[in-house]
Structure 1
Amino acid sequence: MSNRFYFDDDDSSASSDDNLPYPKPLTRASFLTPNFDPTTFLSTLHNRHQTLEDLRAELRTRSQDLNKELLDLVNENYQDFLSLGSSLKGGDEKVEEVRLGLLGFRREVEGLRGKVDSRRGEVEGLVGERKRIREQIQVGRQLLEVETKIGELESRLMLASTGARKGEEDGEASDVDDSDEESEEEEEGNGITVSKLRRHMEQYMYIRRLFEKIGDEHPFLVKQEERVLRLKQTVLLDLNSALKQAVAGGEERRGDLLKLLGIYKQMGQANEAMKVLKESKQ
């Protein structure tokens, strides 16, 4: 190639020499480095045997090739874009099929939701029913306990209204219980010991607490009010008799007197005790 020059660091031009090697074409990778800088790129060509005109021509050719590639790429993608409409031809039918499928699926989901809500209501109702049954069973057990405790206290107080019935149910069991209790407690004259009176009072108060726990308005308890009132009157009658005997006993029975007053207080009948004390003094 004629008029070829050699570029060195001093930017000096060498005389043409046909024996110099022909420069290799510029590679595309040379322009793909990050942060490409033209000045830096030209400085790497100081050992390249090529005239400036030839270098400009090569760079111009490279630029044209790149522009052509870019144009071809745009045209190719544009053709694909234009053909997109034709490729979607008939897609309305598929979209309609998908829409109908989704509507059917939605109806199925709503149907299942209705069934689930219905079943949930049934389960909640059954749970509530089980809870009510358990509460009724508990109340039934408490009512049974009320009947048992009333019967036991009536037997201990030897009330005539239920003595025959207890005898029929328990046979000779009542006689055995009474004999055992009499052997445990020591009678003071014709009266009842303070400890036995306290037990009677505690049994009566326990029955009253059961009434409060269940509810006094319960039909069964309403029917038992007469029996419970008779128990109360009998317990108070025994307490009054024992209190009068304690007052008559003077200082020797002072301890029993205080214990009896405590029993009255626990029973909530302190006024009844004061009434008996006044009558005894008179």
Structure 2
Amino acid sequence: MSRFYFGDDSRSASSDNDNEDEDDPSSLPFATPLRRSDFLDSEFSPATYLSTLHNRHQTLEDLRSELRSRSQLLSKELLDLVNSNYQDFLNLGNSLHGGEEKVEEVRVGLLGFRKDVDSLVGVVGEREEEVGELLQERRDTREKIELGRRLVDYDARLKELETELMIETAGHETIILGEEVSDSEDDEEEEEEEEGYGVSIVKLRRNVVHYQLVLGLQKDLGEHPFVAAQAARTAKVRSTLLMDLSTALQQAKSAGASGSGRVMKVTKIYADMEESAEAVKVLKTLKSS
């Protein structure tokens, strides 16, 4: 086993013969035992202590062995100390007097602090519930406002359609709301071609578009009491539209070959209104008559 030796500077600067003597452990002086007082220093540091042993003539393995023996000796002394004073350790708690008042003061202080914390937790919990209720109330109010706007829009569009169809609405003012369906160049040409016909294709198409918008709003609103109360009005609008379409289809059929294109346009409006079955019924009636 290789060995490590601590040497001072004078020995490191010696001759080759001296170095050969140092390689022989028997030629080294016997190392003195480690002093016990060195380990009792309050600022004891293992690394610092080992650095002070650079001039110690001793192998590293021997130093480790000596330190290990020192540690075992200290452990044994500590065990002997505990065993010899075991009864005193047990009686130590009974021999302490005069600290009950301090302990009671600390205990009372802790109880008061805990009570304060519990009261603060209760206050925070109440504030949290209040904030939650206010936020929910705010969300409900926003939803009601949005619903009110949609109901107003629905009613206004329905009134607009009733005005276009010249349906009497006693006790109601007509409100025009929403985008107007602008007439395109094709619509203007159709209006020029509709001379001699009592019902305008352009107006029919516009009214059906408005009717589909009303039905879309009605579907979005669902089973709202206000929407349910307008069932008679929407039914009147539908029947009036179907009546106008029926009249337009009869006029187109009575025109013969020149009205065939108009017949196709009217049936297309029926399809847009999702009332193709009504168009078939009218055509069958006209064919049988």
TM-score by length of 1: 0.63
- Aligned pair 1:204/2:211, yes or no? yes
Q: Distance in 1 between matches of 2:213 and 2:25?
A: 122
- Aligned pair 1:100/2:78, yes or no? no
Q: Distance in 1 between matches of 2:26 and 2:234?
A: 130
Instruction: Write the mapping of 1:247-262 to structure 2, written as runs, cut at 5 A.
Output: 247-262=253-268
User: SS of 1:36's equivalent?
Assistant: helix
- 8 Å CA contact retained: 2:199, 2:248: yes
Residue in 1 that maps onto 2:98: 90
Instruction: Write the mapping of 1:142-157 to structure 2, written as runs, cut at 5 A.
Output: 142-157=150-165
Residue in 2 that maps onto 1:240: 246
Residue in 1 that maps onto 2:61: 35
* Structure 2 letter corresponding to 1:257: V
Residue in 1 that maps onto 2:280: 274
Deviations along 1:111-152, whole A, 9 cap, x unmatched?
122112211111111111111111111111111112211221
- 8 Å CA contact retained: 1:155, 1:163: no
Instruction: Write the mapping of 1:1-282 to structure 2, written as runs, cut at 5 A.
Output: 26=32, 28=34, 30=56, 35-36=61-62, 89-161=97-169, 165-166=173-174, 185-186=191-192, 187-218=194-225, 220-282=226-288
The structure whose Rg is larger is 1
Q: Distance in 1 between matches of 2:25 and 2:207?
A: 130
* Structure 2 letter corresponding to 1:200: N
* Structure 1 letter corresponding to 2:234: V
User: SS of 1:191's equivalent?
Assistant: coil
User: SS of 2:61's equivalent?
Assistant: coil
Distance 1:95 1:196, change over 3 A: same
User: SS of 1:28's equivalent?
Assistant: coil
Q: Distance in 2 between matches of 1:138 and 1:247?
A: 47
* Structure 2 letter corresponding to 1:227: R
Distance 1:259 1:28, change over 3 A: same
* Structure 2 letter corresponding to 1:204: Y
User: SS of 1:259's equivalent?
Assistant: helix
Q: Distance in 2 between matches of 1:11 and 1:119?
A: 86
Give the deviation of 1:83 after TM superposition.
11
Deviations along 1:195-248, whole A, 9 cap, x unmatched?
321110111111111112112332x22332222222111111111111122222
Q: Which moved more, 1:128-137 or 1:107-116?
A: 107-116
Give the deviation of 1:279 after TM superposition.
0.5
Give the deviation of 1:11 after TM superposition.
7.9
Distance 1:226 1:24, change over 3 A: closer
Give the deviation of 1:94 after TM superposition.
2.5
Report how many aligned residue pairs link the two structures: 222
* Structure 1 letter corresponding to 2:270: Y
TM-score by length of 2: 0.62
Distance 1:93 1:215, change over 3 A: same
